[in-house]
Amino acid sequence: MQDILNIYLSSEESGGLFDFDATLPLMASQFLLIMLILDITFYKPINKVLKDRENYILKTLESATQISEKTKETLARYEEVILKSKKESQQLIDSIKTKTEHDIVNELIQTQNSTREFISKSIKELYRKKEQTLKVLEEDTENLSDKIYLKLINPKQ
């Protein structure tokens, strides 16, 4: 049966737990070599990808912010335009309203005036006619009375 636990701390010829030899520099140099290779094949490309992605995200974020700002601006402009046109249309409506009212009032006044004129004219006419008629009547009456007088004083005639 063989020994189960063979622990050699150090021995006369060679071997042992603390046996330093050319493995040490070899291991160090192959470690440096693998470090260089990993730097080229692993760390650098991955770092580049990570950085590129970060830049890409930053850029996209920036452009998104710009677009949203632009949208806000456009929205504000449109709102302004809408407000302006609303105002204008309101003004137009108001002016038309006042104009129409004005026209109506004017027409009313005109009509009133013309009516009043007509009435006064008619009244005047009436008075004139009345006077005329009265005059005619008076003349007639005078004529008649003259005739009656003549008849009375000179019945033979």
Partner 1 sequence: MISNNLEICSIDIGVHWYWNFLGLKIHGQVLLVSWVAIIILLLLAILGTFNMQKEPRGFQNFLEYVFEFLQDISKNQIEEKYYKSWVPFISTLFLFIFVSNWLGALVPWKLIKIPEGELAAPTNDINTTVALAMLTSVSYFYAGLSKKGLRYFLKYISPTPILLPINILEDFTKPLSLSFRLFGNIVADELVVAVFNLLFPLFLPLPVMVLGLFASSIQALIFATLSASYIGESLADHH
- Closest distance to partner 1 from the beta carbon of 60 (Å): 11
- Beta carbon nearer to partner 1, 53 or 102: 53
Per the document, the length of the chain is 157
Closer residue to partner 1 in complex, CB, 54/103: 54
- Residues contributing to the site for partner 1 (CB under 8 A): 1-11, 14-28, 30-32, 34-39, 41-43, 45-47, 49-50, 52-53, 56
CB 58, min distance to partner 1, A: 14
**Angstrom distance (rounded) from CA 32 to CA 27:** 9
**Nearer to partner 1 among residue 23 and residue 157 (C-beta):** 23
User: Going by C-beta distance under 8 Å and a sequence separation of 6 or more, which residues neighbour residue 17?
Assistant: 7, 8, 9, 10
Smallest distance from partner 1 to CB 33, Å: 9
Q: How far is CA 148 from CA 133, 136, 152, 153, in A?
A: 22, 18, 6, 9
Please state the closest distance from residue 82 (CB atom) to partner 1, in A: 42
Residue reference for tokens 């302006």: 84
The nearer residue to partner 1, 58 or 136, going by C-beta atoms, is 58
- 25 φ/ψ angles, rounded to the nearest 5 degrees: -65, -35
